[in-house]
Amino acid sequence: MGFVMDGGKRPMTTTRYAVLRHLERVQHHLSLEVEDEHLEAFWAWALECNAITFLPDSSVRAPEGTVLVEAATGDADPTALVPYPPDALARKSRTDVALAQHGVQVPAGLPPVIAEVEVALRAPREVAERCLALFLCALRAESLASENAIPVAELRAKMPLAWAATTPVERAFLESEAPGRQEIVDHVWRYESLALLAWAVRVTAELPLPTAVCDVPGLARAMFELDAEAFVRDARLRDVGVLLDALDLHFRLHWATTDARLKKAPPPAGLEPGVVHERHHALNWLVRFEDAEWDEVATPT
């Protein structure tokens, strides 16, 4: 990845970004020699394996041999296409059609998200623990915002599994006697991340289009009604295809809301940008985007 970007000297382009994401997802790295008479068969094999290649001339190439990253300049052959597994391409196509029906326009060049054969989801237990921690922080933040603060010691005593699952940033927020206004607002918004992950582990049944904030009282009731130990022990994720459908959708919705903000235009289709962002954050964490932990998750569009 450092070679592709020449140690950070090259500007990001659509092709370079796609190559970086591909390298991030690589599960097998092979070194081999291929004689000239076998090159045609090799390129066919590379296509079937969703492989990109690094040749002796220091170029990075697509499966059929076109240049994705030229050694000296880092430029790509205009005809080169980064390979994607079929299910990722099909998912992107379905999402594009659905968005068009809602009047949401996104660039055709936005890449697919990670495919089923590439993804390594967080373990169900880890997702359940993350739900508990998010609920703890959002509850604390909501109480501070309403000027009816729940004592931290009380929260810790009543929600020990949630407390144990908090991140360094969350722990600092919880232990602060007087967190800043922005910190409080940020953690209240975590109800939206929680809503996404609660849906992912089947606590809630529906994930509506993000045009409004979630039903906080209903979500809180559902979380309070859980037996925390049983919830963590028995957690089950939705099917991987369903989760990746949600990721593909929210990746594109996030692009649309960001584009509207930059243009100082209203969000399309009545989308709520804050909800879109929180859901995208949760989904990127769920699929281990850039192998980042919760506090460091990025949501590039």
Q: What is the pLDDT of residue 47?
A: 87
Predicted confidence (pLDDT) per residue in 49-92, tens digit: 889 999 999 999 998 889 999 999 999 999 998 889 999 999 99
213 residue type, one letter: V
* Total Cβ atoms within 10 A of residue 5: 17
Cβ–Cβ < 8 Å for 211, 272: yes
* Averaged confidence pLDDT in the chain: 95
264 residue type, one letter: K
Task: Summarize the confidence of residues 263-277 as an average pLDDT.
Answer: 97
Q: What is the pLDDT of residue 26?
A: 87
Min mean pLDDT across 37-41, 47-51, 154-158, 233-237 is at: 47-51
Q: What is the pLDDT of residue 226?
A: 97
Q: Which two tokens stand for residue 119?
A: 């993804």
Q: What is the pLDDT of residue 147?
A: 87
pLDDT-derived band at 148, boundaries 50, 70, 90: confident
Q: What is the pLDDT of residue 94?
A: 97
The DSSP secondary structure of 177-205, one letter per residue, reads SS--HHHHHHHHTHHHHHHHHHHHTTSSS
Is the pTM higher than 0.85? The answer reads yes
Q: Which two tokens stand for residue 274?
A: 């804050």
Residue 182 scores a pLDDT above 90: yes
Q: What is the pLDDT of residue 135?
A: 98
Residue 163 scores a pLDDT above 90: yes
Predicted confidence (pLDDT) per residue in 9-49, tens digit: 999 998 999 999 999 888 889 999 999 999 899 989 998 88
* CA distances from residue 201 to 125, 194, 235 in whole angstroms, order as listed: 9, 11, 6
Q: What is the pLDDT of residue 109?
A: 86
Residue in the block written with tokens 């604390």: 140
Which residue would you say has higher pLDDT here, 40 or 197? Answer: 197
